[in-house]
Every structure is written in structure tokens, then in C-alpha cells.
Copies of this chain bind each other. A is one copy, B any other.
């Protein structure tokens, strides 16, 4: 494990103090221009030096004819240039003292003999000057805490805690929006492209010590350094969970990834084995990947697989229970002692099986706070899945009935929801057990948004909550195994 983030060759790629930009112009439809604009939109605080053979100004910034003319040696060069120009420009960057680059241009190893020759020239130029780079055929980095974004889409989510290494560049950009729907965001996301110089494993090593990163997501089309991946992931995963989405497993996925980055993917079961040995949680879909990241970052690891479900709607409770059953989780019935503790909160028609189904609750606070507190305290359960009712309507109606006018009632309801969300988070944290919530409401709903912003995981369905709980259990098991089994490092 690296001692600090400064020890990684990726540090000044994610956190450059200044950037030389090749390939941007005043033509807004060009890729390079979109990428420069994304960086500027981010409010990047360092100096940006566009390099352009003809223009004096690029997007309002002074442009330089050659990198050799720059007033300083920037920390990072971003190249969005025709393939044939890349080796020569990297050489010039080296001569100017630049040590890090993002090579966006494609057309290298993934494009036959001519591409391979250009790749060799690029390798030689980089080696000559000790330049480490991401790519080629990548989009570089989004590091919102540092206000850095070299991709072609504006970073619209908040700075977050998910670190990502992706063998698809545009995948990273498309996820900006996706994460924002849940109030999530990237800490640092890197697109590794053809991995000619820096690869997935380098990014994992970097993210392992990157302080904003609580969990690491991998989009994998193939592992080029399988053995090193295993070593590094085993070291990192017990401390910072790693979740991988591997798409090369089916014949169709394999063909898609072959054409995409030129790498050959391996059989599904081989990758299953590698991930398991490495302590890496595998996701089957991108929705699962980020669901799992969220749960692993915000929930403690459960001691076992015994789950209790609380719901105020039989159907959603049953779908969650069914998904738990399929995922191999246990749903023990509610004990006599716990039934007695719940008695004050429940009408006599309540089902006291598991799921605990309180369809006709009258007091939202009992449903949201008192009952889960009792259930989480039960030693027979290791974790909880919770269906969130949204009390906004009930709260408002009650306030109106008390004689408040609509504006007062709305403001008062807002304040109460805020308090309730904070109290729920505190109650869950104090339990020391994971609670994974779900609701069919989204962040458009004030209560769901507040819960999520407090750090309560609220997923869009019971099935997804069950899968995330199973990932937590799975992570706990893998972690024990990885920590227990000595790794034959020297063999």
C-alpha cells in the first residue's frame, strides 16, 4: 500500500496545479473544446494553457503556439489530437518538463499495425522523459473535490465518496448524471483507456490512499495484470471495499469489449474466482455496482446474514423478502421478547412475521424511529431492510388540522422532516448495524432527499435493497477470508 496520495503517479493527474491543453479551439462542436469547457465549467482554480498552432485565444484564454513557449512547466498535459501528432507532442511536453499526461486520442493499439507503431513511438517518447500518462483512448479524470474534469461532459453531480477506475471512458461521464439522481458523486473517477502506461491497478493503488474515497468501483472489460491486480486488491479490499462490474463474461460482452478497447476478456467463472480471492464484490449491472458502493460506504459490515424487514405495505415487503431468500439471506421470525417490545406501537392486525408489516400505522414517528430501534436492538438480527413511508402528507394534514395556514404548515413540515431524517440516521448509527432502505419515491420527495443526504441508503426497490444487503454480508465474509489466508507473496 502506498504511504500517501503523493506517492502515486496519478496524484498530479487528479490534482494538477496547472494544465497544458492540446486540441481545444473555438469550434464548439469539437471534442477537445468540449473537454476544455468541462474543465473551465468546473471552476478549475489552476492555470490553463491552451496550445494551438494558429489561434491567439482559445475560449477566452491566451493560447500558445507550442508547449515550449509556456511560462511554466504545467503539472499535466491533456492531448486531444490526431493520433499521428501524439508521439511528437509528448516528446515536446517532456522537453518542457511536463511529467504527467492524459492522452485522449484513439487509434493506437486498438487500430491494427499502424496504430501499434504509433504506440511504440509514444512509449519511447514517454520513457525518454519519464512521463506517466492515462490512455491513450481515454477521457482522463474527474476529480470534483479538486475542481478537475478532463472529460467531455460537465460534472453535474456533487463531489462524493466513490472512487472509480473505468476501462470505458464515456461510462464515467454518463455516470455523472446517474449518481446525481441519488445524491451521490465521485471522489475521483479515472478512465484508463488502453492502459499503455498507467492501468486499473495503478488507479486502485491511488484510490486506496485518496482521502475522499470511501469505496472503489471498477468497470472492467479485461484484467491485463491479473496477478498484480490480485495482490493489490487483496491488500486494499479489507480496508476500502472494491466493487467490480465485469462485462466480458458473455460471448456478446466479450465481443463488445474487444472492439471497444482492444483487450481480450476471459471466461466469466475465471473472473468470478479472481474477484473472490481478491475480496472484490462483483456486481452484475451498473445499478448494482453503485447500489453496492453506496451501502458499503455508508453502512457497517453486518456480523451475519440474519435480516429483518419492516414495511408498511405487504407487496413491497414480500418482494424484498423474496429477493432476500433468493440472495441466501436469512429472515428469522420475530422473537417473543421483541414482540412484546413492539406491542405498544402496533395495531392488533399487524403481521408479526418477518417482514414486520405495519400497513395501518397512525404515528409516523413510531414507524420510522421506535420500531426499527427495537428491531435493530434484537440480537437475533444482523441487519435491517426498511421500506420508507413518506410522512410529508400526514404531517402537513395534521398541521393544517391544528389551524396553521398552508404556508406555515409547509415550512413547519419541512423542519419536522429534517429533524426526523437526522433522528433516523442517529438511531441507525447508534445500533451499529446496517440498515438499507428503499422507497418508490425519489429525491424529488423532500423526505427521501433528506434521508439520503443524512447518509441513509435509500434504494429504488426492495429487490435492490436485498441485493445490497447481500453484498454487505458477502463483503464481510470475503474480508474475513482475505485477512485470514496468508498470501504467497514471494511465489
Known: A169-B314, A174-B313, A255-B321. 17 other contacts (CB 8 A): A28-B397, A111-B349, A171-B315, A173-B313, A247-B321, A247-B322, A249-B322, A253-B321, A255-B331, A255-B354, A256-B317, A256-B322, A256-B354, A259-B353, A284-B463, A285-B319, A286-B319
Q: How many A residues touch B, CB cutoff 8 Å?
A: 77
Q: Are B171 and A313 in contact (CB under 8 A)?
A: yes
A408 CB–B CB distance under 8 Å: no
A31 with B256: in contact, given A245-B319, A441-B177 (CB under 8 Å)? no
Q: Within the complex, which residue of B251, B318, B354 is in contact with A260, where a contact is CB–CB below 8 Å? A: B318
A121 CB–B CB distance under 8 Å: no
Stretch at the interface among A195-203, A355-363, A374-382, A450-458: A355-363
A440 with B174: in contact, given A315-B219, A401-B28 (CB under 8 Å)? yes
Least Cβ–Cβ distance between A446 and chain B, in angstroms: 14
CA distance A253 to B353 in the complex (A): 12
Least Cβ–Cβ distance between A187 and chain B, in angstroms: 19
Query: Quick one: CB contact mask for A367-407 with B, threshold 8 Å, 1 for yes?
Result: 00000000000000000000000000010011001000000
Q: Are B250 and A168 in contact (CB under 8 A)?
A: no
Q: Are A252 and B331 in contact (CB under 8 A)?
A: yes
A237 CB–B CB distance under 8 Å: no
List A residues at the B interface (Cβ < 8 Å): 28-29, 31, 106-107, 111, 166-175, 177-178, 181, 219, 221, 245, 247-253, 255-261, 284-287, 309, 312-319, 321-326, 329, 331, 349, 351, 353-355, 357, 359-360, 362, 394, 397-398, 401, 440-442, 460-463
Q: Within the complex, which residue of B261, B315, B441 is in contact with A168, where a contact is CB–CB below 8 Å? A: B315
Q: Within the complex, which residue of B167, B253, B323, B397 is in contact with A325, where a contact is CB–CB below 8 Å? A: B253
A351 with B259: in contact, given A170-B315, A251-B325 (CB under 8 Å)? yes
Given the complex, which residues of B lie within 8 Å of A321, measured CB to CB? 247, 250, 252-253, 255-256
CA distance A258 to B352 in the complex (A): 12
Q: Within the complex, which residue of B249, B316, B357, B401 is in contact with A259, where a contact is CB–CB below 8 Å? A: B357
Q: Within the complex, which residue of B261, B349, B362 is in contact with A107, where a contact is CB–CB below 8 Å? A: B349
Given the complex, which residues of B lie within 8 Å of A325, measured CB to CB? 249-253
Given the complex, which residues of B lie within 8 Å of A31, measured CB to CB? 360
Q: Are B286 and A461 in contact (CB under 8 A)?
A: yes
Mind listing 18 A-B residue pairs with CB under 8 Å?
A28-B398, A170-B316, A171-B315, A171-B316, A174-B315, A181-B442, A219-B315, A247-B318, A249-B322, A249-B326, A252-B322, A253-B321, A255-B353, A257-B318, A259-B355, A260-B317, A285-B323, A287-B463
CA distance A317 to B286 in the complex (A): 12
Given the complex, which residues of B lie within 8 Å of A260, measured CB to CB? 314-315, 317-318, 351, 357
